Amino acid sequence: MQVKHHPLAQGTPGTRREILTLHFGPIGTRKALLQAALHADEVPGMLVAQHLREALTQLEQQGRLRGEIVLLPACNPIGLSQWQLLAHQGRFDANSGENFNRHYADLSAAAAQRAAPLLGPDSQANVAILRRCLRECLAEQAPQTELESLRQRLLDLALDADVVLDLHCDCESVLHLYSATPLRADAERLARHLGAELCLLAEESGDHPFDEACSQVWWRLARHFEGRHPVPQACFAATVELRGYADVSHALAARDAQGLLAFLAEQGFITQVAAEPAPLRRAARPLQGSMPLHAPHAGLVVFARQPGDEVRAGDLIVEVIDPLSGQKTALLSPVDGLLYAREQRRYANAGLRLAKIAGEQALRSGKLLSA
Ligand SMILES: [Zn+2]
């Protein structure tokens, strides 16, 4: 294992933060990158990374790694440091209010322009050229803030990776994945290895989250050069939601780490006979079919259903009760679908999103992710 330190631009005098990366396996081969806790208060991914670190150390000693595996066990040092009134604030940058998993650079147009005179008929040579151009275009973006510096460093580490897995969690939820519609086959294989209950797909989910910034450039570049130069889909990326904030146990983390390693073995990074995974729990569904329920007024939150419940349109999901007026509002499921995530707090202000139900029909448009 090789350890590398990547300093961020200085945020305030007297401080200097850095990203830590752990590198396993032969460098210069295919590359997989797994990062935990981009939302820095999401602990399940950090524990899975700890299990991965131990397993990968052993696999490396046994000579069983066939590609480079880069692990970021806690990739957001800004978010790790943010505490306010005894609560960890790891989702939003306290300085700007921006979500740490949004606004990664879309480099496809700039890289296409730079690479156009260099490309030829060999698709693998084109991948190498485009990766170099993508990283050059990213390096030319001068970050103004520590947050922008974090985004640039993380994306730079991932832009030449064949596989990118971003480990997150939801509030209270079942294990689920977000990936891209063009990547459906690999996303469903990953879902099977993890035993995920749900896989949500979109081509454009809005505000450019990290996984999309890594994978989306490839189908955009392929379309740009269609009929002129072959450009394969050179990166599979997914966001893995490792259940809820409080689902932190060695039993779950060991199982999840084994699932991720089995997927990496199937992708050619580890020599191990990966057993055929269990069947897919349910076919991937459109992210546009994920229906949120919002609190229409402030009040106590009393759930009637659990994450993992299959619900029907019209089923009671949650009640919101104003403690002073006694007003009680029942929120019903708008669709048949899987209740896959719900809020962990039990007091809501008006507008708080309380639950998400994944239906089979694409009913929404615009920005599909939460704040
Ligand atoms: Zn997250």
Rounded to the nearest whole angstrom, what is the distance from the C-alpha of residue 258 to the centroid of ligand 1? Answer: 21
Distance of alpha carbon 238 from alpha carbon 40, whole angstroms: 18
| Per-10-residue mean pLDDT, the chain, length 371 | 97 94 95 98 98 98 97 98 96 97 96 98 98 98 96 98 98 98 98 98 94 97 98 98 98 98 96 86 96 98 98 98 98 98 98 98 87 76
Length of the chain: 371
Residue among 68, 263, 109 nearest 185 (CA): 263
Q: What is the pLDDT of residue 369?
A: 82
Which residue's entry shows tokens 């990118």? Answer: 164
Rounded to the nearest whole angstrom, what is the distance from the C-alpha of residue 135 to the centroid of ligand 1? Answer: 25
Are 2-283 and 289-358 in the same CATH fold?
A: no
Q: Where are the domains of the chain?
A: 2-283, 289-358
Which residue's entry shows tokens 């640039």? Answer: 152
- Please give the model's pTM, rounded to 2 decimal places: 0.97
Rounded to the nearest whole angstrom, what is the distance from the C-alpha of residue 170 to the centroid of ligand 1? Answer: 6
Rounded to the nearest whole angstrom, what is the distance from the C-alpha of residue 38 to the centroid of ligand 1? Answer: 7
- CA dihedral sign of residues 9, 12, 14, 18: negative
Q: What is the pLDDT of residue 272?
A: 77
Q: What is the pLDDT of residue 371?
A: 76
Helices vs strands, H then E, count in the chain:
8, 20
Kindly state the tokens that stand for 107.
């480099």
Rounded to the nearest whole angstrom, what is the distance from the C-alpha of residue 241 to the centroid of ligand 1? Answer: 7
Distance of alpha carbon 315 from alpha carbon 198, whole angstroms: 20
Rounded to the nearest whole angstrom, what is the distance from the C-alpha of residue 340 to the centroid of ligand 1? Answer: 15
Contact at 8 Å (CB) between 215 and 314? no
Rounded to the nearest whole angstrom, what is the distance from the C-alpha of residue 223 to the centroid of ligand 1? Answer: 30
CA dihedral in degrees (305, 309, 313, 315; nearest 10)?
A: -30
Rounded to the nearest whole angstrom, what is the distance from the C-alpha of residue 165 to the centroid of ligand 1? Answer: 12
Rounded to the nearest whole angstrom, what is the distance from the C-alpha of residue 213 to the centroid of ligand 1? Answer: 15
Q: What is the pLDDT of residue 365?
A: 87
CATH class for the domain made up of 289-358: mainly beta
Rounded to the nearest whole angstrom, what is the distance from the C-alpha of residue 106 to the centroid of ligand 1? Answer: 20
Rounded to the nearest whole angstrom, what is the distance from the C-alpha of residue 166 to the centroid of ligand 1? Answer: 9
Rounded to the nearest whole angstrom, what is the distance from the C-alpha of residue 100 to the centroid of ligand 1? Answer: 9
Distance of alpha carbon 224 from alpha carbon 352, whole angstroms: 40
Rounded to the nearest whole angstrom, what is the distance from the C-alpha of residue 169 to the centroid of ligand 1? Answer: 5
Rounded to the nearest whole angstrom, what is the distance from the C-alpha of residue 364 to the centroid of ligand 1? Answer: 21
Rounded to the nearest whole angstrom, what is the distance from the C-alpha of residue 276 to the centroid of ligand 1? Answer: 29
Rounded to the nearest whole angstrom, what is the distance from the C-alpha of residue 330 to the centroid of ligand 1? Answer: 28
Rounded to the nearest whole angstrom, what is the distance from the C-alpha of residue 272 to the centroid of ligand 1? Answer: 30
Could you count the other beta carbons within 10 Å of the beta carbon of residue 213?
Answer: 26
How far is the CA of 163 from the CAs of 31, 214, 355, in angstroms?
7, 9, 30
CATH of domain 2-283: 3.40.630.10
Which residues hold their Cβ within 5 A of ligand 1, which is an ion? 39, 42, 168
Rounded to the nearest whole angstrom, what is the distance from the C-alpha of residue 315 to the centroid of ligand 1? Answer: 28
Rounded to the nearest whole angstrom, what is the distance from the C-alpha of residue 239 to the centroid of ligand 1? Answer: 8
Rounded to the nearest whole angstrom, what is the distance from the C-alpha of residue 168 to the centroid of ligand 1? Answer: 4
